[in-house]
Amino acid sequence: MAVNVTEVVTFAEAKQLTAYDAFFLWLAQQLDVELVTLDKTLARQVSPRKVE
């Protein structure tokens, strides 16, 4: 899969994320998969579901 770096950086700026975190969120959205993370900042950017 080709990564659109401009899109990821724009996405990072809009969500106030690091480029690293934005890439994982962007990729999960592109692949239509769930993103599982313990990173609270990143978790706030995905649909609010709590995993116990």
Q: Concatenate the DSSP letters of all residues of the chain into one string.
A: ----HHHHHHHHHHHT--HHHHHHHHHHHHHT-------HHHHTTS------
pLDDT of the chain, 52 residues: tens digit per residue: 888 899 999 989 998 889 999 998 888 888 988 888 888 878 877 766 544 4
Place of tokens 């978790």: 43
3-state secondary structure of 25: helix
pLDDT value at position 44?
Answer: 79
Q: Is the pTM of this model over 0.85?
A: no
